[in-house]
Amino acid sequence: MNNQPYVPPIRPNMIPPPSRALYGAMGEANIRQLLRDFYALLAQSAIQDMFPPNIEKASQKSADFFIGLFGGPPLYHQKYGSPMMRGRHMPFAIDPAARQVWLDCFLTVLSTPEKYDIPAELLPTLTLFLENFSMWMVNTAPSDSS
Query: Where are the domains positioned within the chain?
Result: 15-144
H helices present in 14-121, as ranges: 21-42, 55-69, 75-80, 85-88, 96-110
Could you read off the pLDDT of 46-56 as tens digits, one per residue?
A: 999 999 999 99
In the CATH scheme, what is the code of domain 15-144? Answer: 1.10.490.10
The pLDDT of residue 25: 98
Rounded CA gap, 87 and 105, in Å? Answer: 22
pTM of the full predicted structure?
A: 0.92
Could you read off the pLDDT of 78-129 as tens digits, one per residue?
A: 999 999 889 999 999 999 999 999 999 999 999 999 999 999 999 999 999 9
The pLDDT of residue 145: 47
